[in-house]
Amino acid sequence: MAKNLPVFTLKHFLVLSLALNVSLILRAMYESEKGSLYRVLSLQQQRSSVIAGCGSQEEAHVSKKKHLSISLPSLDTTTSTGIEAEAEAEDGGERIINLDHGDPTMYEKYWQQVGDKTTIVIPGWQSLSYFSDVSNLCWFLEPEFAKEVVRLHKVVGNAITENRHIVVGTGSTQLFQAALYALSAQDASEPISVVSAAPYYSSYPSITDCLKSGLFKWAGDAQRFDKDGPYIELVTSPNNPDGFVRQSVVNRSGGILVHDLAYYWPQYTSISFPADHDLMLFTVSKSTGHAGMRIGWALVKDTEVAKKMTKFIELNTIGVSKDSQLRAAKVLKVVSDSCEPSSSEIECFFAFNHQQMDMRWKQLRVAVKESGLFSVPDFPPQFCTFLGRAFEPQPAFAWLKCEEDINDCEGFLRDKKILTRSGKHFGFSPKYVRISILDRDEIFNLFIHRLSKIIS
Amino acid sequence: MAKNLPVFTLKHFLVLSLALNVSLILRAMYESEKGSLYRVLSLQQQRSSVIAGCGSQEEAHVSKKKHLSISLPSLDTTTSTGIEAEAEAEDGGERIINLDHGDPTMYEKYWQQVGDKTTIVIPGWQSLSYFSDVSNLCWFLEPEFAKEVVRLHKVVGNAITENRHIVVGTGSTQLFQAALYALSAQDASEPISVVSAAPYYSSYPSITDCLKSGLFKWAGDAQRFDKDGPYIELVTSPNNPDGFVRQSVVNRSGGILVHDLAYYWPQYTSISFPADHDLMLFTVSKSTGHAGMRIGWALVKDTEVAKKMTKFIELNTIGVSKDSQLRAAKVLKVVSDSCEPSSSEIECFFAFNHQQMDMRWKQLRVAVKESGLFSVPDFPPQFCTFLGRAFEPQPAFAWLKCEEDINDCEGFLRDKKILTRSGKHFGFSPKYVRISILDRDEIFNLFIHRLSKIIS
């Protein structure tokens, strides 16, 4: 019988059956997650007030407590009690808390709540070719990914994409090297100097110098740079490790600027204007949290620079994973969708994670105050065009200073089984450490509790 | 009502509904593909004779014609007629045939026939972290991928994996650079020489020298290398571009060998023994055809070398796409499954693609003979432990020589709208060109037809 059934009839059956699946899956999810539906709905309600920027922070905090009580402590701004204390008690203070890396696992929570909207399905016969778009200068750039990059910048308003080439990279780390390659002269008598104002991203020196290149060479703190001749200045804004908004500091001719804008997103800092620099670097690792994808992108004004960057990536890795580009395209699309005014299904990605960061920084400041041994930077509030209100930066890293006579802050915290990165790696004082704020709730809460108990 | 329905009952409904989907999808596929099921079955029948190595090549050719007639020409060994001639007639000889790159799109056919066995589904909340396995020296290596690499080498018998570290890379290109970094001394007074016997892979010199590294430097043809001191010799076997099996040629102390075994798979060459070198490079691009994944792996004997290679990839790209590693794991698993004696569902990947290559080389040799203007290498047959019989190499590239007074073979073919890569890029004579044999049927057939019509 089935053999004689026409295909279009089978397809109709299939559609019906798929619809049945979807409804059953949704039902099962809602039933088994015990109220997660209501959480999503309450996120929605809360979202409108955050986007509109009308509610006070205290109001936001109250509504946050309502729907996030399952996985986050009900912590107010003066005492630290709740789940993290329980975790610490269970753990006995023996567990090593590794916050050396900026591993963005905090974002798992949002993506779990979003469910299968960002699920990607790749059949085995897809994406075999090296090439994505031979008509594009960057021939390994997936058109769908490029489209979603442009859209996301338009939604957030954090960068100009018009009249720019997009170059995709295996993370922004590869694009940073591609930029150095593209901006240095192949026939120069000596390598071009690469500088950045201290404290600078700890990996810049080692990445720049790892192959002892004859094209470029790390020349340290931009504020102390006094060598004649051309140079490349890296401007990281907001800055890694300290979170401050930055501009170039070497004010003379012959300089070429590379803007690393990995953290210029509204969960970390106010979006003041669409950035409009010659060469800007971004990465999904710190925007959406998908570090494992290894996807970054550069917005490049000059065609020759974009061509040379593409050439570098061709020589370095013959392009960039198509699977990850396709997955990144889907994730960026959902982020943009979630923040469009018309979205009613899911909480805006940036609003949700802005609140996560807001809460974490409040907890951190309380813990720092309780301990009395540390300090973290104070930031002036700035108006954010995306969220429609002013707020203080809440960076992905805490730039923590050990006060009193503690000179090796990293070592001091290591004794408390908290792993951090010493200020010395950032061209700065070892009285400072960089601490990731992007770990999972459990680890972050354990850290906050342990930090608050370190007293002189 | 639904609200009170217990979840396990819903799940039961779901399972039933999913089963219904699967059966309907399978039915629709079989109906709409008009006989592809029978093609798969005939592949199966044919497979047993190939694996067993009992059928003569002529027999294999006959059975091949039976099931591949849909997309491949019914070409015998003396005349070239059929689909490619039709294509050429439609095209009028004006279409540019680009065989400069080794883009492995030939493999799409196999993966389409396999269907959804290699489809991967990645939810949005998966693989956010940078880390894959912190207990592994190569901390960004997905355990599932590592497991399938080991299994595949065991199934094929082409490399020893025992007592080796696996280092994953963004293609073997990145691993090649990681190897140079790992094998050169950080404190050496001058860069170590990197050599390979000509004709060598055309990208080796530009990759090695692109950053003018102080650690390593391209020193050309290994056969002419007479400099004292340490050196790294790249041994590509089978060789790109010419397909010959190779061994090291610089026979003196101080040399370190890197074996690029990208093409040491039974679709291209006989597997004579499991390779047992210190540092061996492989890639999915040329083994399974998934170039767009950008996944390669190194088998490394020395722990310190593996550590330094891992460090390089950390500095270069902070690891390797997890999405592509997970997808590669699934693809390698299906390849191994397909070639296990117990497999009855799908044609062994290597047997199928061995036949594709066998047919293509037969067509190529006929076209070369018809033209009279060219020659391709003759290879001695060797016994293959995997296929259980002897055969001549059938490389991924044709190393074509222009005979008579044609000195610029690349230019000569460019005039015929066939793009190839000149021998001069391989440290060899411009009388030679490298031509990819791995393009889709349509392009390959067009090429064969056009080549056969070029007469003096």
> What single string gives the DSSP state of each residue in B312-324?
HHHHHHSS--HHH
pLDDT for B2 beyond 50: no
Question: Minimal Cα–Cα distance from A328 to chain B, Å?
Answer: 10
Please tell me the distance from the alpha carbon of residue B385 to that of residue B387, in angstroms, as a whole number: 6
Facing residue for A293 by CB, picked from B31, B115, B323: B323
Quickly list DSSP for A68-121: HTTTS----SS---SHHHHHHHHHTT-S-EE-SS---GGGHHHHHHHGGGG-EE
DSSP string, A115-153: GGGG-EEE-TTSS-SS-S-TTSSSTT--HHHHHHHHHHH
- B11 contacts in chain A (CB < 8 Å): 28
| Single pTM value for the model | 0.83
pLDDT value of position B257: 97
* CB contacts, 8 Å: A290 with chain B: 127-128
Task: Give the nearest partner residue to B323 out of A7, A11, A323, using CB atoms.
Answer: A323
Pairing status of strand B279-283 against strand B255-260: parallel
**Dihedral pair phi/psi, residue A237, rounded to 5°:** -145, 120
Q: Out of B181, B214, B331, whose CB is closest to A124? A: B331
Judge: A170–B317 Cβ closer than 8 Å, yes or no. yes
Whether the pLDDT of residue A33 is over 60: the answer is no
- Nearest-CA distance B273 → chain A (Å): 29
Residue B256 in contact with residue B235, Cβ under 8 Å? no
Quick check: B31 and A7 CB within 8 A?
yes
Residue B273 is predicted with a pLDDT of: 97
pLDDT above 70 for B226 = yes
Question: Average pLDDT in the A230-249 region?
Answer: 97
- CA dist A291 → A214, A288, B130, B144, B180 (Å): 31, 8, 5, 19, 27
Interface contacts (A, B; CB < 8 Å): 249
Q: What is the dihedral of CA A18, A23, A25, A29, to 10 degrees?
A: 160
Residue B56 pLDDT:
28
Whether A246 shows a pLDDT value over 50: the answer reads yes
Answer whether A293 sits within 8 Å of B322, measured CB to CB.
yes
Transcribe B31-71 into DSSP letters.
HHTTSHHHHHHHHHHHHHHHHHT-S-HHHHHHHHHHHHTTT
- Give percent above pLDDT 70 in chain B: 80
Q: What is the DSSP secondary structure assignment for residue B251, as one 8-state letter? A: -
Chain A closest-CA separation from residue B456 CA (Å):
34
User: Does ipTM come in above 0.85?
Assistant: no
d(CA A339, CA A352): 10
- Other C-beta atoms lying within 10 Å of the C-beta of residue A341: 8
Set of chain B residues whose Cβ sits within 8 Å of the Cβ of A173: 315-318
Q: In Å, how far from its chain's centre is CA B408?
A: 28
In chain A, the residue whose alpha carbon lies closest to the alpha carbon of B9 is A28
Asked which of A148-157, A427-436, B80-89 is least confident by mean pLDDT, the reply is B80-89
- Output the CA–CA distances (angstroms, integers) from residue B179 to A259, B144, B185, in the order listed: 31, 23, 12
Least confident of A157-166, A243-252, A348-357: A243-252
> How close A182 comes to chain B (CA, Å)?
11
Statement: residue A86 has pLDDT above 50: yes
- In this predicted structure, what is the pLDDT of residue A420? 98
- List B298's β-bridge partners, or say none: B167, B281
Smallest CA–CA distance from A211 into chain B, residue = B213
Interface with B, mutate which of A29, A129, A287, A338 (most B CBs under 10 A) = A129
Contacts of A319 in chain B (CB under 8 A): 292, 294
Residue A252 pLDDT level (bands cut at 50, 70, 90): confident
Instruction: Dump the DSSP string for B135-204.
Output: TSSSTT--HHHHHHHHHHHHHHT-B--TT-EEEEESHHHHHHHHHHHHHS-TT-SSPEEEEEPSS--THH
Q: Which amino acid is at B12?
A: H
Rounded mean pLDDT of B127-135? 96
Which residue type, as a one-letter code, is found at position A159? A
pLDDT of residue A87: 55
Torsion of CA A170, A173, A175, A181, to 10 degrees: -130
Residue B332: predicted pLDDT: 98
3-state secondary structure of B228: coil
Q: Which residue has the higher pLDDT, A85 or A141?
A: A141
The amino acid present at B51, given as its one-letter code, is: I
How large is the average pLDDT for residues A420-446? Answer: 98
What is the residue type of B189? S
For chain B, the distance separating the N- and C-terminal CA atoms, rounded to the nearest angstrom, is 83
B327–chain A nearest CA distance, Å: 8
Give B254's pLDDT tier (boundaries 50, 70, 90). confident
Kindly report which listed range (A67-71, A99-103, B112-116, B202-206) carries the lowest average pLDDT score: A67-71
Residue A55 distance to chain B (closest CA, Å)? 30
CB pair distance less than 8 Å for A122 and B127: no
Angle between helix axes B57-68 and B349-371 (nearest 10 degrees) is 100
d(CA A35, CA B447): 62
> What value does the mean pLDDT take over residues A322-345?
93
Does residue B13 surpass a pLDDT of 90?
Answer: no
pLDDT at A75: 30
CB of A280 closer than 8 Å to CB of A179? no
Q: Which residues of A touch B177 (CB under 8 A)?
A: 316
* pLDDT tens sequence across B79-106: 333 444 555 555 677 899 999 999 999 9
Rounded average pLDDT over A264-270: 98
Q: In chain A, which residues have their Cβ closer than 8 Å to the Cβ of B127?
A: 290, 292-293
**For residues B417 and B131, what is the distance between their CA atoms, to the nearest angstrom?**
47
Instruction: Catalogue the E-assigned strands of B286-373.
Output: 296-300
Q: What per-residue confidence (pLDDT) applies to A274?
A: 98
Q: To the nearest 10°, report the CA torsion of B384, B389, B391, B397.
A: -50
Res. A317 pLDDT band, cuts 50 70 90 = very high
Mean pLDDT of chain B: 85
Pairwise CA distance, residues A440 & B213, whole Å: 40
**B48-67 pLDDT, tens per residue?**
333 332 222 222 222 222 23
pLDDT digits (tens, 9 = 90+) for B370-388: 999 999 999 999 999 999 9
Nearest-neighbour CA in chain B from A380: distance (Å): 31
Contacts with A124 from chain B: Cβ below 8 Å: 111, 114-119, 330-331, 334
Which residues in chain A have Cβ-Cβ distances shorter than 8 Å to B125? Answer: 108, 111-112, 114, 118
- Which residues from A are below 8 Å from B325, CB to CB? none
Q: Is the pLDDT of residue B23 over 60?
A: no
